[in-house]
C-alpha cells in the first residue's frame, strides 16, 4: 500500500505499531465479557464486543442490546481497556456515546445503506470518538468511500476503515473473499486514513486467521481486529471463527511487522530487478491472451458458419480440468486459476457471440 503519513489521531495513539483489537463477536453475558477481557488486557488496545448483531437471516441471536453497553463500561472500569462496539442505527450511536464506548464501527450490512449511514453520521456529528467503517458486504468501493465521506462531512475527525472481505456468489475457501485490491485502492484514495483488517470475518474459520493477519501486515494495514472468546466453541455467534485469548497471543507473537521503507540499497536493487522480471512476465501474459483470443475468434467464425452453439460445455470442462491440474503442479491454487479461466472463457464467449 502507498506509504504516506497517517492522520495524527492514529499516530498519536499507535505511532508505527499496528492497532490491536480483540474480543468476542457478541456480548453474551457479563461473565463472558469480563473473563475474556481480563485475559486479553495485557496485549490489546481495544476490547470489542457486538451488542446489536445484524443477522443475515432471522432467528439467530440478535445481541443482548443496551445492557451490553453497561458491560463494556464494566470491562473498562475493571481492566482499563478501551472499548469498541458496532452501531447499526442512530439510536445505537446515541447509546454507545452516552455509554462512553471509545470506538464505534459501522458494520458491513450497514455500510451498504447510505440513508442509515447518513443518520449515524449526523448523530455522531463532531464526536471525538473513533469511528471505523467496515467495507460493504458487496465488493463496491464507492459505497465504502461514500460512508467515509458522510462521516467526514459531519466533522468527525478520528475516522478509519476495516477490511472484512466481500460476499461473492462463487464458493471460495473464505467466508468473505478478501479481494485485497479493493482496500488497497481505498488506501490510495485516502492515504491518511488508517485501515485495519478483520481476518475473522474474512476467514470464517479459525485456522485461516494467522495467515490472513500476516498478509494484512505485509500489505501495510494499520491494525487487526480479531474475534476472541473465552470459550469459542460455545459462542452464541460466529463460533467457528473465534479463537481463545491464548491463541490470540500466539498469533500476535508470531506476526512480523514489515519495515515500511527499504533501508539498504542492496535490498532496493534486488527488488527493482524482480519488478523488471514481473513487468516482463506481465507483458507476456497480455501477449498470450491476445493470441488466445485471436484463435478463439477464428473458432467462433467456424461455429457461426456451421450454425453451432457458442458455448460447448464439454470442451469447457476439459479446459478447466486441465488448467487446475497444471495449477497444482505449479504451486498455484486451483481456485485462483479457476477465477482467471472463467474470466478468459467469458471474454471468448462474448467475442464469439459478437461475431
Instruction: Tell me how far apart the alpha carbons of residues 315 and 340 are, in angstroms, rounded to a whole number.
Output: 17
Residue 177 binds: one of ligand PEP, Mn ion, none (C-beta under 5 to 8 A by kind): none
Instruction: Tell me how far apart the alpha carbons of residues 228 and 210 are, in angstroms, rounded to a whole number.
Output: 13
Instruction: Tell me how far apart the alpha carbons of residues 261 and 83 are, in angstroms, rounded to a whole number.
Output: 32
Neighbours of 25 (CB within 10 A): 25
Find the binder of ligand PEP among 187, 201, 206, 229 (CB under 6 A).
201
Q: Which residue, 58, 114, 123, is CA-closest to 87?
A: 123
Min. distance of Cβ 216 from ligand PEP in angstroms? Answer: 14
Q: Which is nearer to Mn ion, 177 or 238 (CB)?
A: 238
Q: Can you state the percent helix, strand and coil of the chain, rounding each to 5? A: 55, 10, 35
Instruction: Tell me how far apart the alpha carbons of residues 140 and 70 are, in angstroms, rounded to a whole number.
Output: 35
Find the binder of ligand PEP among 107, 183, 199, 300 (CB under 6 A).
107
Find the binder of ligand PEP among 104, 108, 117, 120 (CB under 6 A).
108
Q: Which is nearer to Mn ion, 25 or 81 (CB)?
A: 25
Q: Which is nearer to ligand PEP, 200 or 352 (CB)?
A: 200
Map 145-157 to HEC letters: HHHHHHHHHCCCC
Find the binder of ligand PEP among 82, 150, 164, 206 (CB under 6 A).
164
C-alpha cell at 255: 506476526
Min. distance of Cβ 24 from ligand PEP in angstroms? Answer: 9
Min. distance of Cβ 88 from ligand PEP in angstroms? Answer: 9
Bridge partners of residue 196, in order along the sequence: 162, 223
Residue 164 binds: one of Mn ion, ligand PEP, none (C-beta under 5 to 8 A by kind): ligand PEP
Residue 206 touches ligand PEP, criterion: CB under 6 A: no
Residue 64 touches ligand PEP, criterion: CB under 6 A: no
Bridge partners of residue 105, in order along the sequence: 86, 132
Integer Rg of the chain from CA? 23
Residue 21 touches ligand PEP, criterion: CB under 6 A: no
C-alpha cell at 98: 452516552
Residue 134 touches ligand PEP, criterion: CB under 6 A: yes
For residues 240 to 279, the per-residue mask of contacts with ligand PEP, x marking binding by CB under 6 A and - elsewhere, is ----------------------------------------
Min. distance of Cβ 91 from Mn ion in angstroms? Answer: 21
Q: Which residue, 137, 114, 110, is CA-closest to 53?
A: 110
User: In the complex, which residue's CB is closest to ligand PEP?
Assistant: 107
The residues of the shown chain that bind ligand PEP, judged by CB under 6 A, are 25, 50, 86, 107-109, 134, 164, 201
Amino acid at each position: 500500500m502507498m506509504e504516506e503519513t497517517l492522520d495524527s489521531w492514529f499516530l498519536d495513539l499507535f505511532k508505527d505499531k499496528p492497532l490491536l483489537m480483540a474480543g468476542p463477536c457478541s456480548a453474551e453475558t457479563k461473565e463472558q465479557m469480563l473473563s475474556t477481557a481480563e485475559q486479553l488486557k495485557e496485549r490489546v488496545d481495544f476490547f470489542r464486543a457486538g451488542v446489536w448483531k445484524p443477522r443475515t437471516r432471522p432467528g439467530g441471536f440478535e445481541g443482548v442490546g443496551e445492557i451490553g453497553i453497561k458491560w463494556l463500561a464494566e470491562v473498562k472500569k475493571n481492566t482499563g481497556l478501551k472499548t469498541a462496539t458496532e452501531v447499526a442505527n442512530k439510536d445505537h450511536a446515541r447509546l454507545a456515546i452516552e455509554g462512553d464506548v471509545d470506538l464505534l464501527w459501522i458494520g458491513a450490512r450497514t455500510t451498504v445503506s447510505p440513508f442509515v449511514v447518513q443518520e449515524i453520521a449526523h448523530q455522531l456529528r463532531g464526536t471525538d470518538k473513533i469511528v471505523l467503517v467496515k467495507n460493504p458486504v458487496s465488493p463496491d468501493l464507492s459505497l465504502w468511500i461514500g460512508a467515509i465521506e458522510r462521516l467526514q462531512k459531519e466533522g468527525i475527525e478520528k475516522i478509519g476503515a476495516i477490511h472484512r472481505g466481500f460476499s461473492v456468489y462463487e464458493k471460495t475457501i473464505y467466508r468473505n473473499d478478501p479481494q485485497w485490491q479493493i482496500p488497497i485502492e481505498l488506501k490510495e484514495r485516502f492515504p491518511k486514513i488508517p485501515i485495519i483488517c478483520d481476518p475473522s470475518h474474512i476467514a470464517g474459520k479459525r485456522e485461516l486467521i494467522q495467515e490472513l493477519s500476516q498478509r494484512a501486515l505485509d500489505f501495510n494495514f494499520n491494525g487487526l481486529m480479531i474475534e476472541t472468546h473465552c470459550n469459542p466453541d460455545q459462542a452464541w455467534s460466529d463460533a467457528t471463527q473465534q479463537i481463545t485469548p491464548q491463541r490470540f497471543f500466539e498469533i500476535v507473537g508470531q506476526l512480523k511487522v514489515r519495515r515500511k521503507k527499504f533501508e539498504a540499497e542492496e535490498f532496493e536493487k534486488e527488488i527493482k530487478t524482480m519488478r523488471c522480471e514481473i513487468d516482463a512476465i506481465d507483458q507476456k501474459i497480455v501477449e498470450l491472451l491476445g493470441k488466445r483470443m485471436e484463435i478463439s475468434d477464428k473458432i467462433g467464425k467456424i461455429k457461426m458458419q456451421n450454425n453451432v452453439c457458442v458455448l460447448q460445455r464439454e470442451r469447457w470442462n476439459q479446459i478447466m480440468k486441465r488448467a487446475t491440474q497444471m495449477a497444482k503442479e505449479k504451486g498455484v491454487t486451483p481456485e485462483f486459476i479457476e477465477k482467471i479461466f472463467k474470466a478468459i472463457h467469458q471474454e471468448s464467449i462474448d467475442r464469439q457471440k459478437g461475431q
